Structure 1
Amino acid sequence: MFFPRVVVVASLLFAVGACSPDASKRDPVADAKFQNEKRIGEEDITKKQEHDAEFMVNSAVNGSLELELSKLAQQKATTPAVKDLAMRLVQQHAEMSNALKSLADRKSIVLPTSLGKEQQEQVQKLAGLTGTPFDKQYLDALVEAHKDDVDSFDDMSEDAYDGDIRGFAAKYLPGLKEHLEAAKQAQDQVKDLP
């Protein structure tokens, strides 16, 4: 049976994490990917279905990151446009996250239970900033994350194997495009601030 490199790497990451005395230090993103790949390996599942599961995990991670960063921005942002954007994103990403979790449950896809190490570091880095530097870094992170989201959701709205996952991607794609444009506009407003 063919094992993609991702499965081998995820398996090794999981095995290393499982051997550690403190299992709470395992990366939840790698853990979710491993559990999905293990289930996929045990069932007769196609590459397209594997791609669907990967999309769901990545969407959960990006959505959680954007939600956490926006909650932080609600407290720390100094520019009114940035605070308003953060408030909108918290509400809309929470709704999308709930829909994603419900869909994942119906499809037996495991999602990460918290942010991965890379995303936690990003949140911690932003948490250490204040004032305009915070606003600028927050918006940079949002633009980058939403570019990835828009590309991924656009692809999956047409290419997902599962019709429900295709529908989910198509439903939330316009909102993600709107978030990206709003983040770019806010970026333009703060770029010349000290």
Structure 2
Amino acid sequence: MFPRRIATALAAAAVVVLPAGAAHADQPSAQDATFLRAAYQGNLAEIQGGRIAWQKTTDPAVKSLAASLMRDHIHMNADLYTVARNLKVTLPMEPTAEQKALTERYQAAEATAFDEYYVSTQLAVHREALKMASEQIEEGSEQSVKQLAEDASPIITRHQQTLRDIAEAEGIPGYGTGSRVP
């Protein structure tokens, strides 16, 4: 009985003496957990939007883009899921309300206006995704989460360039010759 009391007392003392961060060293920071959740939801939304674009467009460039977006975001989510699981971060199973609303607008868009709407909104979405990844690289603390952001950045940049190329080819306002839109 006496050895059990000593062990209990030592364990309690260790908890009191350890710094706050040491007791939760295996948990990711709020920044890391927020990034994982937001990136996962963003990828889910990209996959859904890509499916809609694949079905609605008749433009081969937009169809190819949609296939690329679906493939790349499925792969990014698989990697992200593994990291989140290792860090015990619970991921949402669906996009945000705002992302769902955009998906609904894609569904409702007239075929004649779909490509321009899809490309222009995807440019904005990818601009935000690149900003989020950059912030994670700079401010994140967990190396595996920072690595996800580093790995995603060139993919997002490639998507942005493809979107810009399509926008310019389609004559979408702000993306013609001599225009400069990030």
| Same fold (TM > 0.5) | yes
Residue 89 of structure 1 is matched in structure 2 by 69
Residue 44 of structure 2 is matched in structure 1 by 64
Taking the aligned partners of 1:120 and 1:49, their CA distance within structure 2 comes to: 27
Taking the aligned partners of 1:109 and 1:87, their CA distance within structure 2 comes to: 29
Residue 79 of structure 2 is matched in structure 1 by 99
Taking the aligned partners of 1:167 and 1:192, their CA distance within structure 2 comes to: 34
Unaligned runs of at least 5 residues, structure 1: 1-42
Taking the aligned partners of 2:56 and 2:108, their CA distance within structure 1 comes to: 10
Taking the aligned partners of 1:192 and 1:101, their CA distance within structure 2 comes to: 36
SS of corresponding position for 1:56: helix
State whether structure 2 residue 136 is matched by structure 1 residue 183: no
Return the offset for 1:130: 3.1
Residue 17 of structure 2 is matched in structure 1 by none
CA root-mean-square deviation: 1.9
SS of corresponding position for 1:115: coil
Change (3 A) 1:192 1:120: closer
Output the amino acid matched with 1:134: F
Report % sequence identity: 21
The list of structure 1 runs, each at least 4 consecutive aligned residues, that deviate by more than 6 angstroms after superposition, is none
Residue 55 of structure 1 is matched in structure 2 by 35
Output the amino acid matched with 2:54: Q
Contact 1:78 1:132 (C-alpha < 8 Å) held by counterparts: no
Which digits, 9 at most, give the CA deviation of each residue in 1:7-56, with x for residues without a partner? Answer: xxxxxxxxxxxxxxxxxxxxxxxxxxxxxxxxxxxx758xx810111111
Return the offset for 1:87: 0.8
Unaligned runs of at least 5 residues, structure 2: 1-22, 174-182
Query: Normalising by the residue count of structure 1, what TM-score does the alignment of the two structures yield?
Result: 0.71
Taking the aligned partners of 1:118 and 1:61, their CA distance within structure 2 comes to: 11
Query: What does 1:137-152 align with in structure 2 at a 5 Å threshold?
Result: 137-152=117-132
State whether structure 2 residue 55 is matched by structure 1 residue 75: yes
SS of corresponding position for 2:81: helix
Output the amino acid matched with 1:166: K
Query: What does 1:1-40 align with in structure 2 at a 5 Å threshold?
Result: none
Q: Which has the larger radius of gyration?
A: 2
SS of corresponding position for 1:78: coil
State whether structure 2 residue 94 is matched by structure 1 residue 114: yes
Output the amino acid matched with 2:81: K
